[in-house]
Amino acid sequence: MRLNFSPMKIMRGFALPTAIFLLVILAFLGVVILRVAASTSYTTTLDIQGVRAYQAAYAGLEWGAYQALRTNYSCAPSTTTSLTLAGQLAQFTVNVTCTEFPESEGAETVVLQEYVATANNPSACKDGPPCANYVERQLRMLVRGN
């Protein structure tokens, strides 16, 4: 009896497991790339919203400085004002709280006003904050009133 072992018969069926293995690896890499891309997009969106919240809070501080320096605004003992902004900042709610602190400098009494501006986007959350898209920034400034 003669055995016939040709190289082609030994290699038969080798390509199919290799192809399946490569397809599984490529599918896994595709899923990983899609997840990284989605995560990067979400992070970038939150970063942009954070910058907008910062700018909205800064606008609240600018409003407070204007009140203190131009209009002789008195906020004793403590007042909170809500501001409405336009444009890209319209989605943010800005609350500016002012508190006065009389300080003595020698014979003179100086009135310091502390402004705290808090900007947030509660409209991003359907069920109310906190949620994944909620962003809030708070800034403080001390101004010497007139």
pLDDT in tens, 33-70: 888 877 777 788 888 889 999 999 999 999 888 888 87
Strand pairing report for 78-83 and 108-120 = unpaired
DSSP state of 124: G
Query: What mean pLDDT value characterizes the chain?
Result: 82
pLDDT at 95: 93
Helical residues (DSSP H) of the chain, grouped into ranges: 7-11, 15-70
pLDDT at 6: 62
Q: What is the DSSP string of 71-109?
A: S-----SEEEEEE---GGGTT-EEEEEEEEEEEEETTEE
Residues of the chain with pLDDT > 70: what percent?
A: 84
Reported pTM: 0.69
The residue extents of the domains of the chain are 7-144
What integer is the mean pLDDT of 72-83?
76
pLDDT at 53: 93
